[in-house]
Amino acid sequence: MPQSTSAPSTREFRQFIREFYPRPSRLPLWVMATIGLLWLLPALLNFVWFARTIPSAKARAAQSLSYSFLFPIWHIDQQPATVFIGNLEVPRAPTQVVWILPAALCGLALYLALAGGDATHQNHRAEAERFARQQGRLPPWELPALLFLKPGESGVPLAKVGHGKRERIIGIVQGTSRGHALCVAPTGAGKGLHLTDLMLTWHGPAVIVDPKGEIYRRTATHRRMLQGLGPCYNLPHDALDLLDSFDPHDPLDVQALHEILLETWRDREPIWAKKTLPLFFAAMAAGQATGRNGLQILARWAQLALPDAMTEAAVFAPREVRQFLDSLPPEKALENKFASSAWGTFTAKFATFAPHIGTFTQRDVPPDWVEASSTIYITYPLEQASTARPLVAAAVAGLIRGRMRQAQHNRTATPTLFLIDELAAFAIPGLDTLLATVRSAGIMLILYLQQLSQLRDIYGPETAETIMGNCHYHLYFASNDLKMARHISDMLGTRLDFIRHESKGRSHTVGQANRTGQQTTISHQRQEVPALSPAEAQKRLPDDAVVVYAPMGKRKGIVIARRLDSSPLFDELEHLPRTSTDHIRAKRAVDLATPLVPPKGKAEPTPPLLEPVAIESKGPIDEATPTESVSTDAVIVEPAPQAAPRGQVW
């Protein structure tokens, strides 16, 4: 399927580009074309009529073209073929002067066209162009060649410039990314068009959060059949085991999973959710002992009462249970108000996405999905974002984490693309840190938002600025939002305007001859104005325009281009025959009702907690020596559980 197939640019867009990027005058081209035409017409007449007596057609054509209208005036056909220079007879060789005279005339016309006119106006225009280049604002025809994708080349397309046969794609060649990308597009601005074109152009492993499911319908079969890539997986219809990416035996991974699933980073008072961290360690220990998935165990406990859940957990992880209950026995768990409140927070949050836990605790997506050039589509709809949001964030963060681990053992990391649509609905904690660290693993993230204010609302002003700074490529679609229009205006910078002032005055000379004269003074005032004011960015910017901010050589530049639009291909894409890898796999039920069975050889009841012991001295009591009593807490020493081999899923 051709890469460049797209809807043509609108007349409104072409008119805007002509006004925003005025081209230099084309008068010299017209002058040279006119001179050339006037030179060729007499030459043709010479060849047909005046030079008909010259027997050689080659010589007749050369002389007719060389002398043009001078041929009949000088009677070139009647002149001898040789001339004498002193005593030396040499051939006239008229072909040696071919194009000298017309070239000289064209050069003279070009010089007159460039040197003519108002020199002050030309100087002002040259200064304004230099000023625009200093701000990184380049016209589309001056963009560096490295910024364009060749037809059929794999990469990340950003936008298009030019029209018709001169249309070219601004993009990032696969494997040459200098950073991540941020795309801000309001509803209906063409974000889905951009995502579709991107997935058709990128020929490598990818993960895409696709809430509408439209990108999956349009591109999954195309990538599998026509591009020859690996399997395409569709979550929630397929399953991804989070514990393939978060090592249940690594405390740091368990802490990261706890933070993502319970969204402690979003809470104003995260202490209640943070209190439940020992429960995650207990669930992983129980999973190690029973062979069940630790997240399924957490989902089971979230359905039980606090005493019942703690009684079951204490069989496998007594230390973590004592830590959570502050050394109270499980049957007295409700007496601990702090633990009870934390338990309520845990069950309230975990119970919301517990129905989806089967999708993220079973395995359809293999750990080597990158090597297989697979594509993972996460298609939870927006109406389920409030419930599935933690699991989606954990899936994306886990896939990134797993890819970074694999890249540590492989010097040549496979370029992998992560597309997060509707970032406001499926936000990832620690995104600013991820953007700064994952590039070495060959990972490129492209974030999609409807408004920049969403980024500040989620992560705060300072973190939002850090995220924007870590994105080397910015795409801003036309928007009716005034704040967005102001941001686009600020990104485009300012331009130079020269205001012409003309003043006239009269002078009167008194003398023998009274004279009255008129004097005119012309001056130009240099003024900086916005290249595109906020009002113009809001109302005048065409609907299919996109502002691209990207590295252009050694510096960063900005250009107004046209959005990607593969809508003519939609019907063809959505009616491609489905392959066997695109079917919806059968759901496998997750058993959360069966109690955990302890392994053989381990006692079920929890060892009783010993009461404090008072130790009294038995020596003779001296009146001056008071009785001493020492209170100590009983210490229970348990052997550490034997760790399973790394990578084994419990």
* Integer CA distances (angstroms), 154 to 164, 206, 371, 572, in order: 22, 13, 17, 21
pLDDT over 90 percentage in the chain: 47
Write phi, then psi, for 603 (nearest 5 degrees).
-70, 145
* Integer CA distances (angstroms), 539 to 158, 479, 481, 536, in order: 23, 9, 10, 5
Q: Which helix (H) or strand (E) holds 528?
A: strand 515-530
Beta-carbon contacts of residue 86 (< 8 Å; ≥ 6 apart): none
How, if at all, do strands 613-616 and 629-632 pair? antiparallel
Q: Give the pLDDT confidence of 332-385 residue by residue, as tens digits.
A: 999 999 999 999 999 999 988 888 999 999 999 999 999 999 999 999 998 888
What are the start-end ranges of the H helices in 224-317?
251-262, 271-274, 277-290, 294-301, 306-316
Whether the per-residue pLDDT at 248 is higher than 70: the answer is: yes
Q: Give the pLDDT confidence score for residue 650 in this predicted structure.
A: 27
Separation of alpha carbons 181 and 470, rounded Å: 9
Separation of alpha carbons 151 and 142, rounded Å: 20
Whether the per-residue pLDDT at 102 is higher than 70: the answer is: no
DSSP letter (8 states) at residue 31: H
Residue 521 tokens, joined: 């003074």
Q: Which residue has the higher pLDDT, 93 or 432?
A: 432
- When pLDDT is averaged across residues 85-97 and rounded to a whole number, the result is 55
Separation of alpha carbons 502 and 633, rounded Å: 97
Angle 279-285-289 from CA coordinates, rounded to 5°: 140
- When pLDDT is averaged across residues 42-58 and rounded to a whole number, the result is 84
CB 264 within 8 A of CB 390: no
How, if at all, do strands 88-91 and 82-85 pair? antiparallel
Partners of 548 in the beta sheet? 475, 559
Model-level pTM? 0.77
CA 244 to chain centre: 26
- When pLDDT is averaged across residues 234-240 and rounded to a whole number, the result is 93
- When pLDDT is averaged across residues 4-17 and rounded to a whole number, the result is 77
Half-sphere exposure of 417 (CA within 13 A, CB side): 31
Nearest to 284 by CA among 272, 298, 301: 298
Q: Give the pLDDT confidence score for residue 615 in this predicted structure.
A: 38
Q: Give the pLDDT confidence score for residue 90 in this predicted structure.
A: 55
Provide the sign of the torsion angle of the four alpha carbons 331, 337, 343, 347, taken in this order. positive
DSSP letter (8 states) at residue 471: E
* Integer CA distances (angstroms), 217 to 113, 183, 197, 395, in order: 57, 22, 13, 21
- When pLDDT is averaged across residues 210-237 and rounded to a whole number, the result is 91
Q: Give the pLDDT confidence of 468-496 residue by residue, as tens digits.
A: 999 999 999 999 899 999 999 999 999 98
Q: Give the pLDDT confidence score for residue 314 in this predicted structure.
A: 95
Whether the per-residue pLDDT at 607 is higher than 60: the answer is: no
Helix 57-67 vs helix 27-45: crossing angle, to nearest 10: 140
Q: Which helix (H) or strand (E) holds 386?
A: helix 385-408
Q: Which helix (H) or strand (E) holds 89?
A: strand 88-91
Q: Give the pLDDT confidence score for residue 77 in this predicted structure.
A: 64
CA 116 to chain centre: 47
DSSP letter (8 states) at residue 541: S
Instruction: For residue 111, name the pLDDT band (cuts at 50, 70, 90).
Output: low
Provide the sign of the torsion angle of the four alpha carbons 161, 166, 169, 173, taken in this order. negative
Beta-carbon contacts of residue 398 (< 8 Å; ≥ 6 apart): 240, 242, 244, 245, 246, 257
Beta-carbon contacts of residue 90 (< 8 Å; ≥ 6 apart): 82, 83, 84
Residue 332 tokens, joined: 């007295």
Instruction: For residue 641, name the pLDDT band (cuts at 50, 70, 90).
Output: very low
Separation of alpha carbons 565 and 406, rounded Å: 36
Residues found in the chain: 650
The three-state secondary structure class of 625 is: coil
CB 447 within 8 A of CB 471: yes
Q: Give the pLDDT confidence of 543-577 residue by residue, as tens digits.
A: 999 999 998 877 889 999 999 987 777 777 777 76
DSSP letter (8 states) at residue 349: H
Separation of alpha carbons 523 and 512, rounded Å: 34
- Cis geometry, peptide bond prior to residue 577 (ω within 30 degrees of 0): no
Write phi, then psi, for 429 (nearest 5 degrees).
-70, 150
Separation of alpha carbons 421 and 194, rounded Å: 11
Residue 261: burial class (beta carbons within 10 Å; 0-12, 13-18, 19+): buried
Instruction: Render the burial of 216-242: b for 16+ CB within 10 Å, e for the rest.
Output: bbbbbbbbbeebebbbbbbbbbbbbbb
Of 114-118, 186-190, 431-435, give the range with the top mean pLDDT: 431-435
> DSSP of 546-595, one letter per residue?
EEEEEEETTEEEEEEEE----GGGHHHHHTSPPPGGGSPPPP-----SSP
Whether the per-residue pLDDT at 6 is higher than 70: the answer is: no
Separation of alpha carbons 190 and 567, rounded Å: 10
Beta-carbon contacts of residue 562 (< 8 Å; ≥ 6 apart): 9, 13, 159, 160, 161, 544, 545, 546
Q: Give the pLDDT confidence score for residue 62 in this predicted structure.
A: 82
Q: Which residue has the higher pLDDT, 527 or 466?
A: 466
- When pLDDT is averaged across residues 151-157 and rounded to a whole number, the result is 91
pLDDT over 70 percentage in the chain: 77
Give the type of residue at 179. Answer: G
DSSP letter (8 states) at residue 46: I
> Across all residues in the chain, what is the average pLDDT?
81
Instruction: For residue 626, name the pLDDT band (cuts at 50, 70, 90).
Output: very low
Q: Give the pLDDT confidence score for residue 1 in this predicted structure.
A: 43
Residue 471: how many other CB atoms lie within 10 Å: 19
* Integer CA distances (angstroms), 70 to 56, 63, 73, 93, in order: 20, 10, 5, 16
Instruction: For residue 451, name the pLDDT band (cuts at 50, 70, 90).
Output: very high
CB 568 within 8 A of CB 5: yes
Q: Give the pLDDT confidence score for residue 100 in this predicted structure.
A: 63
> DSSP of 128-187, one letter per residue?
HHHHHHHTTB--GGGS-GGGEEPTT--EEEEEEES-GGG-EEEEEETT---SEEEEE--T
- When pLDDT is averaged across residues 436-452 and rounded to a whole number, the result is 93
Whether the per-residue pLDDT at 637 is higher than 60: the answer is: no
Q: Map tokens 């830590």 to a residue.
A: 323
Separation of alpha carbons 388 and 379, rounded Å: 11
Separation of alpha carbons 546 and 541, rounded Å: 9
* Integer CA distances (angstroms), 357 to 53, 240, 387, 582, in order: 97, 10, 11, 22
